[in-house]
Amino acid sequence: MDVLTKLDILAGAAKFDVSCSSSGVARKNQGGTGNAKLFGICHTWSADGRCISLLKVLLSNDCVYDCCYCVSRRSNNIPRASFTSRELADLTLQFYRRNYIEGLFLSSAVEKSPDHTMEKIIQVLTLLRKEYEFHGYIHVKVIPGADPSLINRAGMLCDRMSVNIEQPTEHSLRLLAPQKSLPILYASMQQLKDQILLYKDDRRHFHRTPRFVPGGQSTQMIVGASQDNDLTILHTTQALYKNFGLKRVYFSAYVPVNQDSNLPALTSVPPLLREHRLYQSDWLLRFYHFKAEELVDANHANLETEIDPKSAWALRHPEYFPLEINRASYEELLRVPGIGTKSAWRIINQRRVVAISADQLKKLGVVFKRAQYFVTCKGIYPGNMPYNPAAIRRLMLPKPSFTQMSLF
């Protein structure tokens, strides 16, 4: 099989892994090719808003595992292909030189065994870093069950690693991916966390200490393949951030590719809106001091799809609102729909000089059409009706589209 045919198969199979994004690492070019210092590599958007291209490919799709949700599972009758390490290293460099890509996201199916696959990944990394002196961004997926020493070697050569947890509970993982288990995945995450901290600490004392996974680690969870609700998913997400210091947890709406009694029907659609709400909640966990148990609980085990999680929380807690904008703390301001981290700081700074009125809120970057229902400014409620959560909910619900109205 020629390399382009392999690329066609293996790049197509890699599209289901979403756990790659900018990490803004500072790997310097020491005289070779490529440079991750300026960019941070991402297949979507970098921190400064630019779109970054990344060669996202599998080393092999010839898998010995049989995960129900995966197109590359052993029992599927699909074309199989595997790159040699040199083929993939050459391809990456050629694409880089042609300016098609700025980095590599390298994942793989489990070819023969986890250790065999991880060895091949290390060969690709060694060729790129040592022989071709490629200093661009490289994100590597840890093969579940690989030997810790191999994970350690790969971590010395790449910028970011991800251990994909795939499912939020051991029960779901056992059901859908019987060869994987959470304790094994957690052990790899713990190893990465410990090593990252160790090397960081060493670098404080010894400047020449090499970097180990400088962009940190991330993971991916598939949403909608199992019966797990958002409460379970967000609790697991919160625990992952707390226990393993992850940079990101990515959510991937399940795309029905296999017929299986444990999976949604082939005709079902990927739950993209649910995925979007989970990303919004993830943002609230990381930057807005929310806890998973505040966003979802036993009575509301799934996030509302019609309203964003922060507004839904605010409407369920009328006891917090309306909030006086000139007296609220930073943490309280963050809880107001329409106020973000930057606008909260602007409010804090501005009111040191002068008490803030409703008109000034818009100039401070607040999304006034949402915030107006939840605040008072100098004791005046700016909303166009008395504070009433049920009425506010009706106003905040998305308006029916033209097509829906026509059908109605």
Name the amino acid, one letter, at 69.
Y
Residue of 104, 103, 157, 93 lying closest to 126 (CA atoms): 157
| Strands 217-223, 248-253: pairing kind | parallel
In 10 A of CB 42, how many CB atoms? 23
- 170 phi and psi angles, rounded to 5 deg: -65, -40
Decide whether 67 or 233 has the Cβ nearer to ligand SF4.
67
Decide whether 128 or 177 has the Cβ nearer to ligand SF4.
177
Place of tokens 């382009």: 4
CB of 74 to ligand SF4, least distance (A): 7
377 binds ligand SF4 (CB under 6 A): no
**In Å, how far from its chain's centre is CA 171?**
23
Structure tokens at 246: 């992850």
146 binds ligand SF4 (CB under 6 A): no
296 binds ligand SF4 (CB under 6 A): no
Residue of 190, 291, 184 lying closest to 244 (CA atoms): 190
What's the distance, Cα to Cα, between the start and end of the chain in Å?
55
Buried b or exposed e, range 66-91, using 16+ CB within 10 angstroms? ebbbbbbbeeeeeebbbbebebbbbb
Stretch that binds ligand SF4, among 47-55, 69-77, 218-226, 349-357 (CB under 6 A): 69-77
25, 54, 63, 158: which one binds ligand SF4 (CB under 6 A): 63
In 10 A of CB 392, how many CB atoms? 22
65 binds ligand SF4 (CB under 6 A): yes
67 binds ligand SF4 (CB under 6 A): yes
Decide whether 72 or 82 has the Cβ nearer to ligand SF4.
72
172 binds ligand SF4 (CB under 6 A): no
57 binds ligand SF4 (CB under 6 A): no
Residues 155 and 158: their CA atoms lie apart, in Å, by 6
CB of 387 to ligand SF4, least distance (A): 49
Residues 333 and 341: their CA atoms lie apart, in Å, by 9
Stretch that binds ligand SF4, among 66-74, 90-98, 207-215, 322-330 (CB under 6 A): 66-74
Handedness of CA 102, 105, 106, 108 (dihedral sign): negative
Please state the three-class secondary structure of 44-103 as a single string: CCCCCCCCCCCEEEECECCCCCCCCCCCCCCCCCCCCCECCHHHHHHHHHHHHHCCCCCE
CB of 162 to ligand SF4, least distance (A): 12
19, 22, 72, 85: which one binds ligand SF4 (CB under 6 A): 72
In 10 A of CB 318, how many CB atoms? 14
81 binds ligand SF4 (CB under 6 A): no
Stretch that binds ligand SF4, among 37-45, 59-67, 186-194, 273-281 (CB under 6 A): 59-67
52, 57, 70, 106: which one binds ligand SF4 (CB under 6 A): 70
109 binds ligand SF4 (CB under 6 A): yes
73 binds ligand SF4 (CB under 6 A): yes
Stretch that binds ligand SF4, among 70-78, 79-87, 195-203, 232-240 (CB under 6 A): 70-78
- Count of residues that bind ligand SF4 according to CB under 6 A: 9
Decide whether 19 or 72 has the Cβ nearer to ligand SF4.
72
Binding site for ligand SF4 (CB under 6 A): 63, 65, 67, 70, 72-73, 109-110, 177
